[in-house]
Chain A
């Protein structure tokens, strides 16, 4: 609060405009969620920053272009009703595999934007964007905004063009002033605003949350699935994908889960750590709304949850790099029966959070600041 108060100042360009007085945005901590948030010290969240970030997240001119054929925003690939992923039935991104404005497909499939403010382990499939990175250009969501705008397989844009374009759009300079105390738009502030908005995405109102809070019972099949999920003799999901004690339903950590015998991806966890045992390792994504997250795995090799469950049941591939937590490895997997698979799937469906998918605060604004 002291920091924010110290930022109060009159608008130098317009003495009649109200002083710069941003309002602190507080993230409410859901039941049993972590209390430690990953918010950089130089980008405290404010109501004004989040509001601006929402416009920018959805504004296709983030590509630095205005022609309808060359618009691209974060929301082009991160679609709210699809768990902020493209969706496997996307009309333009066949099978859920996204490509940038120049047609180049992204190296990995899209990860969901869910509860990212609680991720302290690194962003991306290999965790290459992390808090204490020696390279200060790859530390947090702000940096992902910039790299997404610049990447040839995404917006393929020039950040100078982007900020210059938004400077010309009515309404935006004022919003930047309200958020950051300066009408002069910088790309740094564009990054910050979008990151603030993304940090507000909280999924904590699924059926499983109501069950964990003691408000709603699960069905017998769902309960069976929950027991399978959290037992070593069952499906053994919990060590990587959480449960009652870790309602994020991910550790955000990196595991070789036994998919391959040859590791030739230049962007696996090994690329970040240099540890040979991390070859073929990738982030365990959250399972919240996972039914919408296909295609599955870093390379989107599985189209359906059934394929994923079959893989963990019967089709693990043995290599030295497979994480020790995959202790069913030599038997091919956890060997679930058809009934058990159905129960497990029923439980996973309780992680579906309609409140998140339809939360108006995360939705596209009715109109952009320069629209009448």
Chain B
């Protein structure tokens, strides 16, 4: 009896609907070509010669925008609409819909780079490789939005590692400390860093967290055909992380920016122009 009711209920809802599928094929490109990892052949707008070893990142809340403005999630629910992409793991390069996508004309795709505040909670992912993306709780918790690791030739001519890691930013207590705070690590004035960035001489307590994730909407006309899969390239133009809103110079920000909100802010503002869509070549 129950099954009969369920079947008749579905029939009524989906009476005229016909569905297809959509796959996003993630492409990591640099200067218009497929990324060549560990190759010191790239130069960014600031003049840094650099190479990229790996890119690991999250994309979430992917919605397909119909011609009439209505949106359809690529996954069945919000919890499943978070995807991990890893330049070293080929299985992560394709994001396939697991939700029936109504056939018809579409005008674009909307998504979040990283993970929205409400969903970016520690222990959301306990299994690797996603769990390896955890962002320390002291720095805000949740997960790295992205790890873009590589090296650049710094202004001294040395090959220096950079960890262009984006996630939750912090504001630190700037007043005088009373002397018995937890997170006082003594004098760090000896600590050498890149020109332009003065690390805190004392690692003061964090007073605020800033969620740097951002959402973008990309236009693309495509059609979902019943019982067929539509493939779309989602392109990350890596060089664009380093210009747009502001030119990003590794010689200024150094090799690590998880505790430099200003650097992450620049990166994320540049990031809105990093992605594009195209129908498959």
Contacts and interface: CB of A to CB of B under 8 A. Distances in A.
Interface of A: 32-36, 120-121, 220, 223-224, 226-228, 230-234, 236, 238-239, 242-246, 251-253, 277, 318, 320, 322-331, 335, 337, 339-340, 343
Contact of B183 (A227, A232, A252, A339): A227
Contacts of B187: 337
A337 B186 contact: yes
B127 A36 contact: yes
A243 B158 contact: no
Contacts, number: 126
- Tell me what chain A mostly uses at the interface: helix, strand, loop, or mixed: loop
A265 to B, nearest CB: 20
A34 B126 contact: yes
Q: Interface size for chain B: under 10, 10 to 19, 20 to 34, or 35 or more residues? A: 35 or more
Contact of B256 (A228, A246, A327, A340): A327
Contact of A328 (B143, B154, B188, B255): B255
Given A233-B200, A233-B203, A328-B255, 14 more contacts: A231-B136, A231-B258, A231-B259, A234-B185, A239-B163, A243-B136, A244-B141, A318-B158, A324-B162, A325-B149, A327-B255, A329-B161, A339-B185, A340-B185
A244 B182 CA distance: 18
A322 B151 CA distance: 10
A244 B132 contact: no
Contact of B53 (A238, A277, A343): A277
B131 A246 contact: yes
A326 B255 CA distance: 9
Interface string B135-151: 11111010100000111
25 contacts: A32-B126, A34-B126, A36-B127, A120-B128, A220-B182, A226-B138, A227-B185, A228-B185, A230-B136, A231-B136, A232-B259, A236-B256, A245-B122, A245-B135, A322-B161, A324-B54, A324-B151, A325-B161, A327-B163, A327-B256, A331-B192, A335-B190, A335-B191, A337-B186, A340-B186
B249 interface: no
Contacts of A36: 127
B128 A329 contact: no
Nearest to A245: B134
B163 A246 contact: no
A340 B191 CA distance: 13
Nearest to B256: A232
Nearest to B139: A231
B127 A277 contact: no
A234 B203 contact: yes
Contacts of B160: 327, 329-330
